Amino acid sequence: MLQPSPRHTMVFRSPNPMGATYSPEAVFNQPSPLENYNLFDGDCALKEAVHREGGGWIDGEARKLGEVLGNPEIINLGVLANRFTPELRTHDRFGYRIDEVTYHPAYHDLMRVGIEAQTHSLPWTEKRSGAHVARAALAFLRHQIDEGTSCPLTMTFAAIPSLRLQRWLNRSVAAVRVKSIPSWATNGSAQRRCVMPSSFSLKRLRDSPAFYYLVGGRTEPETPFIFSV
Q: Kindly report, residue by residue over 138-149, the tens digit of the pLDDT.
A: 999 999 999 999
- Total structural domains within the chain: 2
**End of a domain among 89, 123, 148?**
148
In single-letter form, the type of residue at position 229 comes to V
Provide the 8-state DSSP code for 217: -
Give, for all 229 residues of the chain, the pLDDT tens digit: 445 555 555 444 555 555 556 677 888 788 889 999 999 999 999 999 999 999 999 999 999 999 999 999 999 999 999 999 989 889 999 999 988 888 899 999 999 999 999 999 999 988 899 999 999 999 999 999 999 999 889 988 988 888 777 766 655 443 444 444 444 456 665 444 444 444 444 444 444 444 444 444 343 333 333 333 3
Total residues found in the chain within this entry: 229
Cα distances from 126 to residues 22, 59, 123, 131, 159, in angstroms, run: 58, 15, 5, 7, 17
Pairwise CA distance, residues 223 & 226, whole Å? 9
DSSP label of 82: H
Check whether residue 131 and residue 84 sit in a common domain. Answer: yes
Report pLDDT for 225.
Answer: 34
Instruction: Judge if 108 and 157 occupy the same domain.
Output: no
- Classify residue 11: in a domain, yes or no: no
Query: pLDDT value at position 66?
Result: 97
Q: Is 217 exposed, middle or buried (0-12, 13-18, 19+ CB in 10 A)?
A: middle
pTM of the model: 0.69
Q: Quick one: 46 and 126 in the same domain? A: yes
Is the distance from CB of 214 to CB of 191 less than 8 angstroms?
A: no
pLDDT at residue number 160 = 82
Three-class secondary structure of residue 98 per DSSP: strand
How many angstroms separate the CA atoms of 65 and 53, rounded? 20
Q: Same structural domain for residues 116 and 47?
A: yes
Query: Last residue of some domain: 102, 133, 148?
Result: 148
For position 193, what pLDDT does the model report?
Answer: 42
Residues 170 and 212: beta-carbon distance below 8 Å: yes
Are residue 183 and residue 88 in the same domain, yes or no? Answer: no
Q: Domain end: 94, 128, 148, which one?
A: 148
Alpha-carbon span 117 to 147, nearest angstrom: 16
Give pLDDT, residue 140. Answer: 97
The answer to whether residues 136 and 164 belong to one domain is no
Q: Alpha-carbon distance 84 to 170, whole Å?
A: 38
One domain, residues 39 and 120: yes
Question: What was the pLDDT predicted at 7?
Answer: 55
Please list, in sequence order, all residues whose beta carbon lies within 8 angstroms of the beta carbon of residue 126, skipping any fewer than 6 positions away: 118, 134
Q: Helix (H, G, I), strand (E, B), or coil: what is residue 135?
A: helix
Q: Are residues 139 and 190 in the same domain?
A: no
Does 139 reside within a domain?
A: yes
Cross-strand bridge partners of residue 226: 189, 214
Q: Which domain holds residue 91?
A: 35-148
Same domain for 186 and 171: yes
Sign (positive or negative) of CA dihedral 18, 24, 30, 35: negative
Tell me if residue 39 falls in helix, strand or coil: coil
